[in-house]
Structure 1
């Protein structure tokens, strides 16, 4: 396989597309340090206020399956620009919300637009880069979803230090406007690949609501869990018969997509779940303010940046399994300390643990996405990108909902010992990581050059 250099034009395109991804993923976490503030402002419990985060993630899950169809029907560039515009408008509505139900509803609209940005941007980028350059490009831009859970709380803490909570959403306006203007100039137009392809309304009506009902049931109703599971089962049965399903379940039976999917689901649960739990612990149990919480989370971003630099050098030379299993090991090592949260755990230990988690996460995401994209035809990129984004976000939403439920039960069991309740909950996060490790051992052993030669 001939290797072309990554030129300035491709980097400019990548920079603009990743700006949209950064905005969307940032908004999934920027409210993390504001959870306590929002709970006080709206008089909400932990299980109620977590819907400000979970509703956004579930809306993302609802939108992602449609991203491939929209790109094929209207073009990826047009879909991406429209999604950015809707996201900016929804951000303004969030800032103006006067009650928790209204805020959650506006977060749903925001998530529907935000859910289109990462998969559409990744598909446009993969098409522009080609198989020979996608590994090097994705290793750099792929770090953005890992940095957002860090910069989100940091930005949120800085904002809440000088302004009220609506500014958590006003901050999206200048970023979104800049993304639209730059996108019109720097992102090349793409062809409409299938303008007559019908949309799978039946599949969309079963998949997205089924996921939402299932996750809602995890925090509130066993009946909803069963109903959601039945809807998802009905979706699978429908998708196996449909000509163009909104999400093709057969993708998960094709190596290496199945184990790659598991790795991304658990990575999402670990990253988003920790970014829900840890800021809440630092404010409620450790007594830090919003800005102090955000600053303590910075090492995770430093680790992610360092891991991205390493992956950029190794992604074309080292077997995916080696990188991913190593990354999971670092994430597990970094998570272990959080199972011992309490007054005796120094801030330095928390900082080093976050550094390890960020470094390890960077070794997981980029190799997994590169592995999948290298083995696909350009026409299949939008749907595959949508599936990968769906899985990562699904892991985040389910992980957050499960961990909120576990935390609520542990707080009730532990009483005044709030730190111990959080420590108990982090054992579940560590369990997620162990599951990911088991799946990652099934990834290919061969180096990328050998895979290309064999293809």
Structure 2
């Protein structure tokens, strides 16, 4: 009994490893949104159009989507810690070059470099952390560090607005340098070395040519359907092509004799399939809301980026509070119970947003977002810990890659679909005049609420047991 208690205790060494690894995740996820508040400055400084500058954000996200699937292969080929350190270095190089960019084209190119490093950091860091913690401790550790990706979309506009209040736009990128340097200095001492690679599988170039480009083409097609900057037939054709490429990737992954970039068979391993459905809907809900609300607050209510960021802060506060609750309950309650409760809270917090014409007070909006934040925290950590507990150490990089990929796909595709819905509703509600804007946004939030119904289908299949399987292979402890 004493030996088991010692094995389940989270010692300072593990917390130090978690702190260092979460620095990488914080940089990568924060950079997806921090630049959004500097769009006006970039347009003026580079004398560029809005269409050109939007690629500063889009290029980063597409580079992240490209890098995530390769994280499992790189970790297996070169080792997880070595891959993570290289990703931090690549991210810092991209950040420094972005700050020194002399044109919109150069900035977009450097953002791609930055995104390739940023896309490797969360999945590689989570796999290292899962291996160091082991099945008995991973739930409590993930419940704390897993809140960082949830806070980043909220903190991005706030931090970006604060920086631009006292400095020029290059400091949106320079801010990454001290964080990354600290991570590089501490990682060799605090992050335990993972198991050496035992197999040298060739890289799956066919899978790489189908998966990430397929997602990019799908998101591009859906976005163009909403933007209507090209013929609708071309946009729909791109979306269909993206779906076809993803289907081709699944067919290739099941039939290839080599190790695929992302093994579709992993999704047949319980509870990864159910977890994927829950996380793809969570990604659509979180990133979809963070797309709709700032746009509504700035376009519909005339607020500045800083003011909009302040109104979004309660969701981050709720996520932080929810992580503390989950930390206490994750080993006591069933994963299914926690996730279903989280979905219910997200639905309760989203319901008022479907009537924005009435929801005019900041207090009511803040309360709704606070509830949503708590609910979001009750989904991601239990889902990830349930998967990591049931995976053997060699499978952890692939499982982490799958979870991060699914969450990213959910956020990207969900945001693109909501943009299409919003565009159509704005056109239909134009006859209402000024009242048409909040009504159109409220219509779009009904789709966010519908995501909660779909998420229940995945959550119902999650494990009912709170404790990890007895057959789970314990991972080495952090030293």
Residue 315 of structure 2, aligned match among 292, 300, 303: 300
Residue 207 of structure 1, aligned match among 205, 211, 214: 211
Matched residue of 2:136: which SS?
coil
Residue 421 of structure 1, aligned match among 440, 454, 463: 440
Residue 238 of structure 1, aligned match among 252, 264, 272: 252
Matched residue of 1:192: which SS?
coil
* Deviating more after overlay: 321-330 vs 56-65: 56-65
The alpha carbon displacement at 1:36 in A equals: 6.4
Q: Is 1:44 matched up with 2:55? A: no
Runs of 4+ in 1 over 6 A off after TM superposition: none
Matched residue of 2:50: which SS?
coil
| Aligned equivalent of 1:452 | 470
The alpha carbon displacement at 1:333 in A equals: 1.1
Q: 1:407 to 1:143 in 2, by over 3 A?
A: same
* TM-score of the superposed pair, with normalisation by structure 2: 0.89
1:17–1:121 contact (8 Å) kept in structure 2: yes
CA RMSD of aligned residues (A): 2.2
2:88–2:184 contact (8 Å) kept in structure 1: yes
2:216–2:242 contact (8 Å) kept in structure 1: yes
The alpha carbon displacement at 1:10 in A equals: 0.6
Partners of 1:191 and 1:276 lie apart in 2 by 40
For residues 57-76 of structure 1, what are the structure 2 equivalents within 5 Å?
57-76=61-80
1:31–1:168 contact (8 Å) kept in structure 2: yes
Q: 1:60 to 1:181 in 2, by over 3 A?
A: same
* Deviating more after overlay: 288-297 vs 346-355: 288-297
For residues 184-263 of structure 1, what are the structure 2 equivalents within 5 Å?
184-194=188-198, 196-220=200-224, 221-242=235-256, 243-263=258-278
Residue 140 of structure 1, aligned match among 137, 144, 152: 144
- Greater Rg by CA: 2
Partners of 1:440 and 1:337 lie apart in 2 by 23
* Deviating more after overlay: 160-169 vs 12-21: 160-169
Q: 1:157 to 1:339 in 2, by over 3 A?
A: farther
Q: 1:433 to 1:51 in 2, by over 3 A?
A: farther
Residue 330 of structure 1, aligned match among 320, 328, 345: 345
| Aligned equivalent of 2:34 | 30
* Deviating more after overlay: 192-201 vs 255-264: 192-201
Partners of 1:216 and 1:90 lie apart in 2 by 24
Matched residue of 1:115: which SS?
helix
Matched residue of 1:297: which SS?
helix
* TM-score of the superposed pair, with normalisation by structure 1: 0.93
The alpha carbon displacement at 1:409 in A equals: 2.9
Gaps of 5+ in 1: none
Partners of 2:168 and 2:428 lie apart in 1 by 34
| Aligned equivalent of 1:438 | 457
Partners of 1:215 and 1:108 lie apart in 2 by 17
Matched residues, number: 452
Gaps of 5+ in 2: 225-234, 474-479
